[in-house]
Amino acid sequence: MGLSDFITLESDKILSEFQAFATQQLPAAAGMDPGELRDHGRQVLAAIALDMRQPQTKLQQREKSLGHAPRTDGRDSSPAEIHGELRAAAGFNVNQTTAEYRALRASVIRLWMESGPTLGRDEVIELIRFNEAMDEALAASILHFAVEAARMRNLFLGVLSHELRTPLATIMASNQTLLIAAKIDKAMPEAAERALRGARRIQSLLDDLLDYVRSGLGEGMRVTAAAVDMGQVCARVVAEVLANHPERSIEFDIVGDATCVCDAQRVGQAISNLLGNALRHGARDAPVVAQVNGSKSDEIAISVRNTGAPIPRATRESLFEPLVRGSDASPGAYNLGLGLYVVREIALAHGGSTGVESEVESGTVFTIRLPRDASTAAVSAFPGMRMN
């Protein structure tokens, strides 16, 4: 049987093999819907089989090798182009994106050879056509991947700059106020406090940014676990955050046994991010409620609750991801979300998890669940490279 007919007839078998291979090869594919992975494979394969059946002159072959081939499917975007864009938006890196094509090519050729084709001149030509079509799809996919990745990076930098500029503006305005006040011998302690809060906000953004970039480089987050009283850790963080926001109130309580084994500094950072988040987005006239719950024997849960408008269900899924994916709204339309991303990474690095619930009556609750003893937790398996 010819190769293009084989691809069409045996596509289910090829796709099963591709799916198994891709899931094994791609760490990020493990977190991807298998149906989605298979679906993309099917579309790319169908476009390739179609391309192989088109008659091709020597000139057309040469043009294709130079990347000037005309579209044969009449669509605006080929499956390979869409594939590249989707992979960039999903936070894949370039290796992972090309690996799918390697998997597809390997699956097709292995299964075809196993079917025992007579390898005459026509079959060799078909094999060449197949490889040309694969190369073209791969090139199209990578090009669109690069464009999309650059767009995401620009968006990221735009939002980062916006988030740094607001506290910077506060610091500058407050310091100008202090300078003028000093000349007229007027004390304005509130302006000094505001400037300090602004500087701390920039510091915490940069800390989160550093963790995010490290995670993107695949270094992982190192956790140094030791026996601690989570009640004390949380009480210390609450006191620190309150010192920065003297006008707000945070209620704090401990349920059950709060002793555990974890990285107190990291978990403290996560709690601090959650409290900062709750103070920024929650209703200002109601207290933020923090709780350490050690009533289960094998886990310790830390939750932070604020009242205020609930978070829409659709947005909740992407809260822990930096930037909302695939949106082309203006940078001001969303937060960078590095704070929550870091919270999740800290939980994962401990072998734990994060969750969020948001209802009108009960408010918004973020919860970090950690194993009671995280001393065996490995370095976090970072889900993918987000900076591309």
Q: Is 322 in the site for another protein (CB under 8 A)?
A: no
Q: Is 218 in the site for another protein (CB under 8 A)?
A: no
**Least distance (Å) between residue 307 CB and another protein:** 16
Binding residue (CB under 8 A) for another protein from 188, 235, 286, 356 = 188
**Least distance (Å) between residue 295 CB and another protein:** 36
Binding residue (CB under 8 A) for another protein from 65, 95, 131, 161 = 161
Q: Is 169 in the site for another protein (CB under 8 A)?
A: yes
Q: Is 151 in the site for another protein (CB under 8 A)?
A: no
Per CB under 8 A, which region of 83-91, 137-145, 158-166, 251-259 contacts another protein? 158-166
Q: Residues 325 to 364: which contact another protein by CB under 8 A?
A: 330-334
x/- binding map, residues 242-271, to another protein, per CB under 8 A? ------------------------------
CA–CA distances in Å: residue 50 to residues 27, 164, 202, 213:
31, 51, 54, 42
Q: Which is nearer to another protein, 265 or 330 (CB)?
A: 330
Binding residue (CB under 8 A) for another protein from 129, 194, 305, 344 = 194
**Least distance (Å) between residue 28 CB and another protein:** 28
Q: Which is nearer to another protein, 9 or 182 (CB)?
A: 182
Q: Which is nearer to another protein, 125 or 181 (CB)?
A: 181
**Least distance (Å) between residue 244 CB and another protein:** 11
Q: Which is nearer to another protein, 153 or 162 (CB)?
A: 162
Q: Residues 69 to 128: which contact another protein by CB under 8 A?
A: none
Q: Is 162 in the site for another protein (CB under 8 A)?
A: yes
Binding residue (CB under 8 A) for another protein from 174, 272, 273, 307 = 174
**Least distance (Å) between residue 208 CB and another protein:** 17
Residue 294's DSSP bridge partners are 256
Binding site for another protein (CB under 8 A): 158, 161-174, 176-177, 180-181, 188, 190-191, 194-195, 197-198, 330-334
